[in-house]
Amino acid sequence: MKLLSVIVPCYNEEENIADFYNELLKTEDFFKQNDVEFEIIYVNDGSKDGTVSEVKKLIEEDNRIHLIDFSRNFGKEAAIYAGLSKAKGDFVVMLDCDLQDPPALLPKMYGYIKNEGYDSVATRRVDRKGEPPIRSFFARRFYSLINKMSKTEIVDGARDFRLMTRQFVDAILSMEEYNRFSKGIFGWVGFKTKWLEYENIERKKGETKWSFWKLFIYALDGITAFSTVPLAVASILGVLFCFLAVVLIIVTIIRKAVFGDPTSGWPSLVCIISLISGVQLFCLGIVGQYLSKTYLEVKKRPIYIIKEEI
Ligand code: UDP
Ligand code: MG
């Protein structure tokens, strides 16, 4: 018998816990026929609703279910990492609790690993149906930007829904960074990945935990985690402005020598000073971003803290 670990990060998902479980069980027959059994790990990421009691109800009926209960909300990335660390399976899959990642795809995904020798099967949505247009717009810009800046391929529309072999999981676990950006980490480790495409499914119950602002911060985290191009941009801007300054100095000296007008030029001075101080602050901000990430890495804080484990 092989073991398939199913990792489900949950944050305020009380309405979805049982629905997800029932949906997953529909694939049970297929896996039984293939000599694969389940282990289901619900990671409760500091929910404030009845998520934990819903999971405990299921645990009483089914001993294949496990619960990792965080001491507070650490974020989905931490929940994924905790799930992967605890998973014992020969294969591991991560799915969202809200059924936006359909468990019905699992048999097909398993087929690719079993029969075609892939190390992981990932999913991406081909459309952004049901999403506010500005959000889609910025998401597209983000993917095109980060792929220009980073050597690691980060796929547009990629979901965290992914089935992996043990080897692939161990590679991910070996990346112990504190600032985790899974979409980049999956690409970074390499291996052979099969991409499955499907149309976006809207969340059935509850609401999304990602506000526009949270996504924006997440995007910046992704860029700083997988690219150092912004630091180079800061130096290039610095060089350009030095060059400009030299030109301006020469122009000013010549103008003084030829025309001798010492008082004019105040507006242009104001423009130059405000532009350059803006650029300086911008570059300082970029350096600050990397410094703050380095600071957090150096501290070596745990990625998550578990309150209870069943
Ligand atoms: N999630 C989590 N911690 C968080 C935010 C979200 O574990 O801080 C879980 C959430 O319960 C869900 C999955 O991550 O199972 C995806 O979240 P959501 O559906 O809100 O994101 P969206 O699908 O809208 O991108
Ligand atoms: Mg969702």
Judging by DSSP bridges, how do beta strands 65-70 and 2-10 pair with one another?
A: unpaired
User: Which range marks the domain in which residue 254 is found?
Assistant: 229-298
- CATH classification at residue 133: 3.90.550.10
Cα distances from 119 to residues 138, 148, 166, 170, 228, in angstroms, run 31, 26, 9, 12, 29
Mean pLDDT, rounded, for 64-79: 93
Identify whether residues 238 and 205 lie together within a single domain. no
Given this model, what pLDDT does residue 247 score? 86
Given this model, what pLDDT does residue 10 score? 94
Ligand 1 atom nearest to CA at 13: 11
Identify whether residues 178 and 266 lie together within a single domain. no
State the distance from the centre of ligand 1 to the C-alpha of 75, rounded, in angstroms: 8
Identify whether residues 20 and 99 lie together within a single domain. yes
Mean pLDDT, rounded, for 275-281: 82
Q: Which 8-state DSSP code applies to residue 278?
A: H
Identify whether residues 181 and 235 lie together within a single domain. no
Asked whether the predicted pLDDT for residue 225 surpasses 70, the reply is: yes
The answer to whether 234 and 224 are in contact (CB under 8 A) is no
Identify whether residues 16 and 82 lie together within a single domain. yes
Find the residues whose C-beta lies inside 6 A of ligand 1. 9-11, 13, 45, 73, 75-76, 79, 96-98, 100, 203, 208-210
Given this model, what pLDDT does residue 228 score? 84
State the distance from the centre of ligand 1 to the C-alpha of 171, rounded, in angstroms: 24
Identify whether residues 235 and 199 lie together within a single domain. no
At 171-206, the pLDDT tens digits run 999 998 888 888 889 988 989 999 998 887 778 888
As a whole number, the mean pLDDT across the chain is 88
Ligand 1 atom nearest to CA at 95: 15
Given this model, what pLDDT does residue 129 score? 74
Identify whether residues 51 and 86 lie together within a single domain. yes
Confidence band, pLDDT 50/70/90 cuts, at residue 262: low
Identify whether residues 129 and 234 lie together within a single domain. no
At 136-180, the pLDDT tens digits run 888 888 888 888 888 888 888 888 999 999 999 999 999 988 888
Identify whether residues 152 and 252 lie together within a single domain. no
Given this model, what pLDDT does residue 4 score? 93
Identify whether residues 271 and 177 lie together within a single domain. no
Mean pLDDT, rounded, for 30-38: 91
Given this model, what pLDDT does residue 212 score? 85
Identify whether residues 257 and 162 lie together within a single domain. no
Asked whether the predicted pLDDT for residue 289 surpasses 90, the reply is: no
Split into its structural domains, the chain has a count of 2
State the distance from the centre of ligand 2 to the C-alpha of 207, rounded, in angstroms: 8
pTM equals: 0.81
Confidence band, pLDDT 50/70/90 cuts, at residue 241: confident
**Distance separating alpha carbons of residues 202 and 211, to the nearest angstrom:** 16
Whether 215 maps to a domain, the answer reads no
Given this model, what pLDDT does residue 281 score? 81
Output 262 or 62, whichever has higher pLDDT.
Answer: 62
**Distance separating alpha carbons of residues 185 and 142, to the nearest angstrom:** 17
**Distance separating alpha carbons of residues 101 and 124, to the nearest angstrom:** 10
Identify whether residues 97 and 194 lie together within a single domain. yes
Judging by DSSP bridges, how do beta strands 158-165 and 91-94 pair with one another?
A: antiparallel
For the chain, what percent of residues have pLDDT higher than 90? 37
Confidence band, pLDDT 50/70/90 cuts, at residue 239: confident
Asked whether the predicted pLDDT for residue 133 surpasses 90, the reply is: no
Whether 178 maps to a domain, the answer reads yes
Confidence band, pLDDT 50/70/90 cuts, at residue 113: very high
The last residue of one of the domains, among 209, 238, 254, is 209
Whether 64 maps to a domain, the answer reads yes
